[in-house]
Structure 1
Amino acid sequence: MRICVLWMLIVVCGSRSEERNYQGYSQIIPQHPVILRGSSLTLACVLGKNELSYANASHIYWKLDEDLIPEEYYSIVNETVSHVTIRNFTAQRRHVRCYIRALKHPQLLQQTELTSGFPPEKPENISCIYYDQKNFTCTWMPGRDTYLKTNYSLVKRRPGDEIICHSSHSSCFFLYPNINFTSEYEIEVIAENALGEARSDLVYVNTLKLVKTAPPELVSVEPLQGMKQMLTVIWKRPLLVPYSLSVKCNLQYRVANSTWILLNDIYMGQEKRMAYNLTGLLNFTTYAVAMQCICTDGQIFWSEWSAEKTGRTEEQAPSRKVDLWRVIRHQPDGKR
């Protein structure tokens, strides 16, 4: 049924194009078609005035790239219009060309690009993160590859307010100040390409629960003079944290090339800078330290781990008397 309707449209378009084209050159209708992969399409090659002076539609033949299309797929509508039907097209992209058998040599009349793909699937698994005074970012699963240019619209709504972010990928973000802390929003993702549209289910979010901080900045990892087997770790409050929220952190440390030892939930509160003592360490040993943080008001996203910083514990003093040896050498003149 779809092919029949398309055939009728092309016949009509071809007839109208004959009138428009009588003063011009040949053309293929439709131009740059996009079809569902595995389906069929009928195209029309319409002769212009220049070609009608020495030929008609019966002289037209077709190629798919450089492959000749068999004549059994041709049909002549009238003296100016030739149709070709391409069946079960599964290539991603190919060129369709119509030629005319001229007096001496074949002549290329016109060409167009035929593309196939799939309509978009419904976006799934929408996940959003709020970076305070920076942006609000959402990602989603787009479904199978469409093999076509597919555009996405991330829609953020609340009563009296709707903002749309456009993207060609499976993520998009709203820049500060177009997002408010502690606000509830309705989120929807719309996928569109030449073959159709798909909408996600509505998702309701509260930015208060979606805060993600930057990794904390490690200031130093150093021994405290006179304290053996200990390192003091100092770090700064992470960026991208709303001023009103408290923070807690995880700390991990290790000797080079060994397994990490994890210390959970070190409470920082609203302090701008904090120190923590690692005890029970090995003497005169280098340790690597890294940290991550999260806000304590019901947030679900931990920051990434910070860059590692290293420090070395103090050397342990000897526990018993040390033997001291001195080597005295005689010089040639007899002096020592």
Structure 2
Amino acid sequence: MPSALAFVLLVLNISLLKGQSPPGKPEIHKCRSPDKETFTCWWNPGTDGGLPTNYSLTYSKEGEKTTYECPDYKTSGPNSCFFSKQYTSIWKIYIITVNATNQMGSSSSDPLYVDVTYIVEPESRNLTLEVKQLKDKKTYLWVKWSPPTITDVKTGWFTMEYEIRLKPEEAEEWEIHFTGHQTQFKVFDLYPGQKYLVQTRCKPDHGYWSRWSQESSVEMPNDFTLKDTTVWIIVAILSAVICLIMVWAVALKGYSMMTCIFPPVPGPKIKGFDTHLLETGSPSKYKVDLYLALPGGFQKLDNAGELDY
């Protein structure tokens, strides 16, 4: 016995010197059901102790003594166990443990108690984005999606709540909106000319939020749309054509632009006034001026043309 114990200690000492040890303790990361008919559990492996390590998931159901091993290690990827409809029971508590084993020993995770009803994380579908415009030409983003394809949602066994989040493409922080039970939402006051990324997620009335959906994107139009720009271009062209027609018509009639804009001032219209006197500048101009200046009217000129006072 002493020699056998000494041999075991020697082997352990050599293994430790080579960096070999029993595997570290694994940890169950999460269990999730997308539809309450199937579910998956994932785990994080511990250290492998420098040796090839095997992992297995075992479970039992509350009130039963039988222990089962994971039915499917492949469908959900590495370090996971998938339970199909055949192995899923609602209103049953699963007691799940992950075991790690190598040549130096084994270790087990802490047990996880799972009720499938409370790990449902359904995913919303068919996320669509539309840019709409109100009567006052104010634009907004209309986000719509479809509820998950779960029988219990359609039959009313439980209801869903939704959230959306969005951000400009270059931004880091998301803007989150809780939408309650409705599957559409209008977002106002977005920056024109910006490209936005949008995601949605949902949660049953008792359960956890699902993963965010894949990103959908939309670009908000500028304040002056292509339609408005086209209208203004047409108006400018028509105005230019009308101006050219007016100039051409004036040129054909032989009028100068100044004559059209500033027409000549008409001559005096005083009865009995001879404008020729103003043009010649003869001495008679004095007589005319004096004649016009007499108060109370005027008398006839005599034959000599002198005023008769």
TM-score of the aligned structures, taking structure 1 as reference length = 0.54
| Higher normalized strand content (fraction of residues) | 1
CA distance in 2, matches of 1:184, 1:136: 13
Give the residue type in structure 2 aligned to 1:310.
V
138, 160, 171: which one aligns with 1:228: 138
Residue number in structure 2 paired with 1:78: none
Residue number in structure 2 paired with 1:300: 208
Structure-2 change in CA distance of 1:255 and 1:126 (3 Å): closer
Structure-2 change in CA distance of 1:278 and 1:313 (3 Å): farther
TM-score of the aligned structures, taking structure 2 as reference length = 0.58
Residue number in structure 2 paired with 1:147: 50
Residue number in structure 2 paired with 1:251: 164
Deviations 1:226-249 (A, max 9, x none): 452212111111346842332222
Provide the secondary structure at the position in 2 that maps to 1:180.
Answer: coil
Provide the secondary structure at the position in 2 that maps to 1:39.
Answer: helix
Q: CA deviation at 1:199?
A: 2.4
Give the residue type in structure 1 aligned to 2:127.
L
Give the residue type in structure 2 aligned to 1:247.
M
Give the residue type in structure 2 aligned to 1:297.
D
Deviations 1:161-212 (A, max 9, x none): 6431175954322223311234321112222222222222322121222112
Residue number in structure 1 paired with 2:280: none
| Alignment of 1:128 onto 2:37 | no
Give the residue type in structure 2 aligned to 1:5.
A
Structure-2 change in CA distance of 1:204 and 1:293 (3 Å): same
Residue number in structure 2 paired with 1:102: none
Provide the secondary structure at the position in 2 that maps to 1:264.
Answer: strand
CA distance in 1, matches of 2:174, 2:99: 45
Question: 1:253 touches 1:287 (CA, 8 Å); kept in 2?
Answer: no
Residue number in structure 1 paired with 2:68: 163
- In the TM superposition, what are the counterparts of 1:242-281 in structure 2 within 5 Å? 242-243=152-153, 244-268=157-181, 274-281=183-190
CA distance in 2, matches of 1:142, 1:248: 34
CA distance in 1, matches of 2:162, 2:128: 15
Residue number in structure 1 paired with 2:273: none
Question: 1:254 touches 1:260 (CA, 8 Å); kept in 2?
Answer: yes
| Alignment of 1:39 onto 2:39 | no
Residue number in structure 1 paired with 2:299: none
Residue number in structure 1 paired with 2:18: 90
> What 5-or-longer segments of structure 2 have no aligned partner?
249-309
Give the residue type in structure 1 aligned to 2:188.
T
CA distance in 2, matches of 1:294, 1:279: 22
Matched positions, count? 224
Give the residue type in structure 2 aligned to 1:250.
E
CA distance in 2, matches of 1:267, 1:216: 16
Residue number in structure 2 paired with 1:197: 106
Residue number in structure 1 paired with 2:264: none
CA distance in 2, matches of 1:261, 1:90: 49
| Alignment of 1:310 onto 2:218 | yes
Structure-2 change in CA distance of 1:118 and 1:172 (3 Å): farther
Question: 1:154 touches 1:187 (CA, 8 Å); kept in 2?
Answer: yes
Give the residue type in structure 2 aligned to 1:151.
N
Question: 1:220 touches 1:234 (CA, 8 Å); kept in 2?
Answer: yes
Provide the secondary structure at the position in 1 that maps to 2:14.
Answer: coil
- In the TM superposition, what are the counterparts of 1:312-327 in structure 2 within 5 Å? 312-313=220-221, 315=223, 324-326=235-237
Question: 2:124 touches 2:145 (CA, 8 Å); kept in 1?
Answer: no
Q: CA deviation at 1:313?
A: 4.6
CA distance in 1, matches of 2:21, 2:144: 54
Structure-2 change in CA distance of 1:233 and 1:132 (3 Å): same
Structure-2 change in CA distance of 1:126 and 1:260 (3 Å): closer
Over the aligned positions, Cα root-mean-square deviation in angstroms equals 3.9
CA distance in 2, matches of 1:144, 1:300: 30
